[in-house]
Amino acid sequence: AMLTYNTGNAYSLQFTNLLMDGRDAYMTANANLTIAGAITSTDNNATLGTKLAGGTLVKQGGGNLFINGDNTSTFRGGTVITAGTIFF
């Protein structure tokens, strides 16, 4: 899934929890974004008959990403940063 967002007047966005159903999540952050809560991913893909290791969280764009939550037991994917900063 791909999420692109822009805000004006120095506003920021906040989401509570993020579920990646065995797929990647691409975020083009042109403003600050906060993910409050758990980032979870599933391992089962019945269509392919395989086990997936969870999705990859890809952060693009110049905005900052704030992750406010303990995801050590819920997120098994990877993280890629192409621009901006991620704060844990």
Q: What confidence tens digit (pLDDT) does each residue in 55-82 have?
A: 788 888 888 999 998 877 777 778 888 8
Of the pLDDT bands very low, low, confident and very high (cuts 50, 70, 90), residue 46 is low
Single pTM value for the model: 0.75
Q: What per-residue confidence (pLDDT) applies to 54?
A: 64
What is d(CA 69, CA 35) in angstroms, rounded to the nearest whole number? 8
Whether 65 contacts 33, CB under 8 Å: yes
Of the pLDDT bands very low, low, confident and very high (cuts 50, 70, 90), residue 43 is low
Of the pLDDT bands very low, low, confident and very high (cuts 50, 70, 90), residue 51 is very low
Of the pLDDT bands very low, low, confident and very high (cuts 50, 70, 90), residue 50 is very low
Q: What per-residue confidence (pLDDT) applies to 18?
A: 83
